[in-house]
Amino acid sequence: MHRGKGMKFVGDSRVPGMEHRKPNIPKDYSEYPGKTEAFWPNFLLKEWMIGAVFLIGYLLLTVAHPSPLEGQADPTDTAYIPLPDWYFLFLYQLLKYEFASGPFNIVGAIIIPGLAFGALALAPFLDRGPERRPSKRPLPTGFMLLAIASIIFLTWESVANHDWEAAEAQGQITEEVEIDTTAPGYEIYAGAACISCHGDNLEGAVGPTLVGTGLSPEEIAEIAVNGIEEGGVQSMPPSWDGTEEDLQVMAEFISGLEAE
């Protein structure tokens, strides 16, 4: 048999030959219902452009309105009232109720949120019907409406009952001031019981800062002798047991401290 005799080659028009290979041109998707363009690069490029616009806008927003900062954290300040971000306020409010706080803290911190989020996660598996309308899917719709109503109510309660003025005051950043430790007023202050609560530099520790109080010497002397009582509770006990002359010198020294 001669080489090649009796052999036939069958060509397929769907498979172009190597010598006729076309460049990487997207297909014409007009013949395919619901597909109007190629995913790469047409569709993906549009998604990247939209994402870049939102990212730039978000960065500009953070520059124009930076996050509010508070003073340096002080673990010895037992009077500080922490407040979570707005999206956790509903959980924060839940821990204020008797059935979810104190000895039942695990109920409010783990059990109730676990049941709530577990029910939302299981909703698609509990109702596996083909219907998409909410009225035809009562179980997941009811779970979702109950969750939204609970979050809105608890968030509103937390915002309405929080002392925002006190929170703003306790988180203020106080400017440092240079303390003259050789001044007679400071020596009297250091020898009194005040220093244990208000710190070596009067910056505040257990008690508030004494820098820039805006109080007159008379008002400071009154507080040192009689303390501070708020709502029937002694928030600051009387702490002065020295002479009137030393009290006046110390009160004038504290009253003259201003933040730089």
The pTM (predicted TM-score) of the whole model is 0.47
Percentage of the chain surpassing pLDDT 90? 13
* CB within 8 Å of 182: residues ≥ 6 apart: none
Helix (H, G, I), strand (E, B) or coil at 124: helix
Q: 184-255 falls under which CATH superfamily?
A: Cytochrome c-like domain (1.10.760.10)
Identify the CA nearest to 220 among candidates 197, 193, 195, 249.
249
User: pLDDT by residue (tens digit) across 23-66?
Assistant: 556 566 566 666 667 778 888 898 999 999 999 999 999 999 88
Q: CB pairs under 8 A, 24+ apart, for 193-197?
A: 193/239, 193/241, 194/224, 194/239, 194/250, 197/236, 197/239
- CB-CB contact of 112 with 99 (8 Å): no
Of residues 253 and 208, which shows the higher confidence score?
253
pLDDT over 70 at 17, yes or no? no
Min mean pLDDT across 114-123, 148-157, 197-206 is at 197-206
User: pLDDT by residue (tens digit) across 88-107?
Assistant: 999 999 988 888 888 888 98
User: pLDDT by residue (tens digit) across 139-194?
Assistant: 888 888 988 999 999 999 999 888 777 777 776 766 566 777 778 888 888 777 77
Of residues 213 and 115, which shows the higher confidence score?
115
